[in-house]
A and B are shown apart, each in its own frame.
Chain A
Amino acid sequence: MSMIRSLVFLMCGTVFGAGLALSRMTSPAKVIGFLDFGGTWDPSLAATMAGAVILAALGHWLVRRRGAALLVAEMPSPPPSRIDGRLLGGAVIFGAGWGLAGMCPAPAMAVALLHPASLWFVGGFMLGAKALTVLDRPKTSAGGECRPSCGCSGR
Chain B
Amino acid sequence: MNIVALSPADWALALAGGMLIGLAASGLMVALGQVAGISGLVTKAMAGRWEAVLFLLGLPLGALIVNALVSLPPEQAFASPGRLVAAGLLTGIGARLANGCTSGHSVCGIARLSPRSVVATLLFIGIGAVMVALVGVPAP
Residues of A at under 8 Å CB distance from B? 5-6, 8-29, 32-33, 35-45, 47-60, 62-63, 68-72, 74-76, 79-83, 86-106, 108-115, 117-118, 120-133, 136, 147, 149-151
Indicate if the CB atoms of B55 and A10 lie closer than 8 Å: yes
Ordered by A's residue number, 17 sampled pairs between the chains whose C-beta atoms are within 8 Å are A9-B32, A17-B60, A22-B13, A23-B21, A24-B14, A26-B63, A27-B76, A27-B77, A38-B133, A83-B116, A87-B99, A91-B124, A106-B59, A109-B38, A113-B60, A118-B78, A130-B46
Indicate if the CB atoms of A18 and B138 lie closer than 8 Å: no
Q: Contacts A26-B63, A120-B84 hold; do A54 and B46 have CB atoms under 8 A apart? A: no
Given contacts A47-B15, A69-B34, A94-B97, 6 further A-B contacts (CB under 8 A): A10-B58, A15-B27, A23-B20, A24-B72, A48-B15, A96-B94
Residue in A83, A90, A92, A136 whose beta carbon sits within 8 Å of that of B115 in the complex: A83
Chain A: minimal CB distance from B60 (Å): 5
Pairs A-B, 10 closest by C-beta atoms: A124-B88, A13-B58, A128-B92, A23-B17, A59-B26, A55-B22, A99-B131, A90-B97, A17-B62, A94-B94
Indicate if the CB atoms of B28 and A109 lie closer than 8 Å: no
Closest to B128 in A: A99
- Cβ < 8 Å to A, chain B residues 14-58: 14-36, 38-40, 42-43, 46-47, 50-52, 54-58
Residue in A12, A48, A92, A102 whose beta carbon sits within 8 Å of that of B94 in the complex: A92
Indicate if the CB atoms of A19 and B24 lie closer than 8 Å: yes
Chain B, interface size: which category? Answer: 35 or more
Residues of B at under 8 Å CB distance from A? 1-4, 6, 10-11, 13-36, 38-40, 42-43, 46-47, 50-52, 54-67, 70, 72-79, 81, 83-103, 105-112, 114-116, 119-120, 123-133, 135, 137-138
